[in-house]
């Protein structure tokens, strides 16, 4: 037995690889809160700006192959989904909605392979791959759930 504050048994040379497990488990709820905030704030801030200029958002959609009408829905989904993730409300459903939203946004707005200007390619590729990372975080929230520090937790609906 090692002398750590988490009393982890070590029986083989690779057991040290699992020393973080008790730390992760004991900080699960606060870590999920931080993760929900980190992912949700991206959508909340981006959606907030778009809520006040929906006509411009809608006008930009047809050039990307999206019906203009969705430009009036997307900012609400983006802002609301971010807010729901931060609050931990209907977290798994919110994660599914935001995953779909991010997939659509990634493949309609960040198609870096369609540009010729190297600076634009670099910027769009960066946004594309950041969205891939965001999708990973959203999927992790879907699997892990909201944690107890959430509205779902307050409502007794935070299940792991």
What is 96-129 written as a DSSP string? HHHHHHHHHHHHHH--GGG---HHHHHHHHHHHH
3-class SS at 56? helix
Residue 37 in any domain: the answer is yes
Residue 10 in any domain: the answer is no
Note the pLDDT tens digit of each residue in 50-75: 999 999 999 999 999 899 999 999 99
Q: What domain range is 73 assigned to?
A: 32-154
Note the pLDDT tens digit of each residue in 80-95: 999 999 999 999 999 9
Residue-level pLDDT at 21? 87
pTM of this structure: 0.85
Average pLDDT over residues 35-52: 97
Domain total of the chain: 1
Most confident of 85-89, 107-111, 113-117: 85-89
Residue 139 in any domain: the answer is yes
Residue 17 in any domain: the answer is no
Residue 2 in any domain: the answer is no
């Amino acid at each position: 037995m090692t002398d750590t504050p988490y009393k982890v048994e070590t029986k083989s040379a690779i057991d040290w690889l699992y020393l973080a497990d008790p730390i992760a488990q004991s900080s699960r709820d606060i870590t999920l809160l931080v993760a929900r905030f980190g992912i949700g704030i991206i959508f909340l801030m981006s959606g907030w700006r778009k809520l006040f200029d929906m006509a411009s958002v809608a006008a930009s959609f047809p050039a990307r192959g999206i019906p203009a009408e969705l430009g009036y829905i997307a900012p609400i989904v983006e802002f609301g989904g971010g807010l729901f993730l931060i609050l931990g409300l209907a977290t798994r459903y919110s994660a599914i909605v935001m995953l779909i939203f991010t997939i659509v946004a990634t493949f309609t707005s960040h198609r870096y392979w369609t540009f010729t200007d190297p600076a634009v390619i670099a910027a769009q590729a960066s946004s594309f791959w950041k969205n891939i990372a965001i999708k990973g975080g959203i999927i992790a929230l879907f699997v892990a759930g909201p944690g107890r520090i959430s509205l779902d937790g307050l409502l007794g609906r935070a299940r792991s």
